[in-house]
Amino acid sequence: MDNKYFKFLYDCGFGDNDHVKLARYLHSIPFNWTNDFDGNRAYDGLAMRREYDKPITDVNKSCSMLEFFIGFAWRLNRDMVGEISCSEWVSIMLDNLDILRFTDKQFGSSAKEDLNEILDDWVSCRYGSDGLGGLFPLEYPPMGEDLRDVDMWVQASWWYNENYGEY
């Protein structure tokens, strides 16, 4: 792994020094998706390589989970909500998945097993129809939508509106 690139990603996505082991582990796992539109989120992850000035030589290569979270957060900050920083978006997503609790002090082999299960459930859309257990849980999904059927960009938009929008 390119340590300078990893440091770049970590600095973009984390506002602390407590989650290095979590970030390294996320960087070792490929990001997969089930909703067709979420392929765009993989592109966001790959785009972080361009932000770092590292050319993307194989567009078919998948991004890592870490690149996904930071790339998606980067895109949300840039294109949707500029007042929430990239690291805040990462924190929101990881906290909603209940994996931000894996600090370097708590990170061990059982943490990896728990992480794999949590990430597998999330990627496989085995979370609540209201998004609980996913990236952007909602108290009031619009029109009773099942968030498991909605792509992540729309989920993020609804989550932002519910938490920061004016009603």
pLDDT, mean over the chain: 89
**What is the reported pTM?**
0.90
pLDDT for 139-163, tens place per residue? 999 988 999 999 899 999 999 999 9
Residue 49 lies in a domain: yes
pLDDT of residue 55 exceeding 50: yes
Q: Could you give the number of structural domains in the chain?
A: 1
Q: Is the pLDDT of residue 167 over 50?
A: no
Compute the distance between CA of residue 121 and CA of residue 66 in angstroms, rounded to an integer.
17
- Taking residues 12-31, what's their average pLDDT? 94
pLDDT of residue 74: 93
Residue 86 lies in a domain: yes
Residue 135 resides in a domain: no
**Percentage of the residues of the chain whose pLDDT score is greater than 90:** 67
For 62-81, what is the mean pLDDT? 91
Q: In which region does residue 140 sit, left (phi positive, over 0), alpha (psi from -120 to 50) or beta (all else)?
A: beta
- Is 57 part of any domain? yes
Q: What is the rounded CA–CA span in Å between residue 91 and residue 99?
A: 9
Range of the domain at 8: 3-127
Residue 142 within a domain: no
With respect to residue 155, please indicate whether it lies within any of the assigned structural domains.
no
Q: Decide if pLDDT at 41 tops 90.
A: no
Asked whether residue 164 is assigned to any structural domain, the reply reads: no
